[in-house]
Every structure is written in structure tokens, then in C-alpha cells.
Amino acid sequence: MRLPPLLSAVSTAAAFLLTACAPAYEDGHLSRSINEQRMARDTCLSNEARSLDDGRSAPEVIARAASGACTAQNDRLIQLMATMDRSGEAQITDAVRKDSVVKATSYVLTMRAQTGVSR
């Protein structure tokens, strides 16, 4: 049975798009490495946020300092993520650095809520 031309073209395009995305999803080792590095980075952020928080400074100020202290972990995460898409390295770098500050801010706010410190 032959497919109508439009359906055939859509099927071909869908197959092509799925094939183009496959390498990124098939590399289980790389995905695990990215997840492990993200956890290492988040652990660093949590530890740094805890040690840097004076309870008086704005949470965002503490978060930026914590993120800066975890630059090596962020850089390794960026490197692993960019392995999948070198053309998007600038966007990946920007997103990871912003995410780092957001996560660190949430750690500061959570710790302050648990200890009753507010600003």
C-alpha cells in the first residue's frame, strides 16, 4: 500500500529528525556523566552557600559568591554538555551559569527558612 504524497513526506521528515537527535540520546555514558557532574556541582553550591551565608547579605549576593566558588564544577558540566552540541556552547555556558546562581539562591533561602533566618 502506497502512502499519499503528503503523508509520505511527513513520515520521511519525522524519521530524519529522529535520526538526527539519536546520537545525543543514545550516549548513556555521557548522560550519566552529565548527571553525575550536575550532582557534584549542586553539592558544591550547597556547601559553599552554607559556608558563605552570613545571614545578613542578600541571598543573591551569597549565591553569586557560591557559584563563583564552584567554577571548576560548572566548567566541567559545561564541557560535558557541549560535547553533545558544540555549536550551542555559548548558550549552554550562559544557561549553566544562570542555573548555578538560581540553585545557589534556592539553597540559601532553604537554609535560612530551616534555621529561621530571614532578611
pLDDT digits (tens, 9 = 90+) for 79-97: 999 987 788 899 999 999 9
pTM: 0.74
- Of 59 and 4, which is predicted with more confidence? 59
If phi over 0 gives left and psi between -120 and 50 gives alpha, with beta otherwise, what is residue 116?
A: left
Q: Minimum mean pLDDT among 2-11, 56-65, 101-110: which range?
A: 2-11
Average pLDDT over residues 25-51: 92
Among residues 32, 31, 33, 107, the alpha carbon closest in space to that of 69 is found at 107
